[in-house]
Amino acid sequence: MSQGVAIAVGVAAYLVLMGGLIGWRVRKGLSSTPWHVVRVLTEEGGPFEVKVAALGGTWNPAKPLGSGNISGPGVGVYRLEESGEVHLTWTPKRGVAREFSGPIPDRVRPDSEQTVRMRRTWHRFLYVYVTMLAAGFVVGLVVAGGSTLHRLAGGGIGVFVAIAVMAIGGTVLSAVRSFRPKHDVRP
């Protein structure tokens, strides 16, 4: 019985660590988006530093959203000026520091309808994802018979099946949505 408990603790620790790692990577990836930069600048004030890896990029406040981010390795420091403009000092790994500034786009402000809707959608996605993983683990645990080790292995297989189902379901949903006519076009 003690071997089964040790394995259960190991599996639980693994799941917690992997969840933490995935959460950290997602947050790190989202840290240079205009929504995050503006939220930090307006709520916390002060400069906000973003470190960008070789294949990464960060928001350029001097250009309209989606028309050109700054990419490549380097460090960006965002500041919110008294006038309400966002100022970015971009220091590439190789080269000379450059300055960019521009107004905060309305749809990026933390209290805008689009930002609130996007945050709610993200929370719903995370809720469904975690629920599906837990359901996969429980189904695998219940379906597998035998010793604790076999049941935990069944739970692990259930998690992988849940990931596969969500990946295939997400792909199908994305394809279906891409073929749907777009009646409500918003600027």
Based on the fold, state whether residues 20 and 51 are members of the same structural domain.
no
Instruction: For residues 185 and 187, give the distance between their C-alpha atoms in angstroms, rounded to a whole number.
Output: 7
Based on the fold, state whether residues 79 and 130 are members of the same structural domain.
no
pLDDT, residue 9, reads 74
186 within some domain: no
Based on the fold, state whether residues 142 and 92 are members of the same structural domain.
no
Residue-wise pLDDT for 142-175, tens only, equals 998 888 888 888 888 888 899 899 889 888 888 8
pLDDT, residue 4, reads 65
Other CB atoms within 10 A of residue 143 CB: 12
Q: What share of the chain is helix, strand, coil (3-state, %, to 5)?
A: 55, 15, 30
pLDDT, residue 183, reads 59
Based on the fold, state whether residues 137 and 161 are members of the same structural domain.
yes
**Per-residue pLDDT at 28 exceeds 70:** no
185 within some domain: no
CB 61 within 8 A of CB 88: yes
Q: Please say which residue of 107, 131, 164 terminates a domain.
A: 107
Residue-wise pLDDT for 95-137, tens only, equals 899 999 988 888 887 777 887 888 888 889 889 988 998 999 8
Looking at every residue in the chain, the average pLDDT score rounds to 82
Instruction: Give the domain extent around 53.
Output: 33-107
**Per-residue pLDDT at 187 exceeds 60:** no
**Per-residue pLDDT at 88 exceeds 60:** yes
Residue-wise pLDDT for 39-80, tens only, equals 888 888 778 888 888 877 888 888 887 776 788 889 999 998
Based on the fold, state whether residues 128 and 165 are members of the same structural domain.
yes
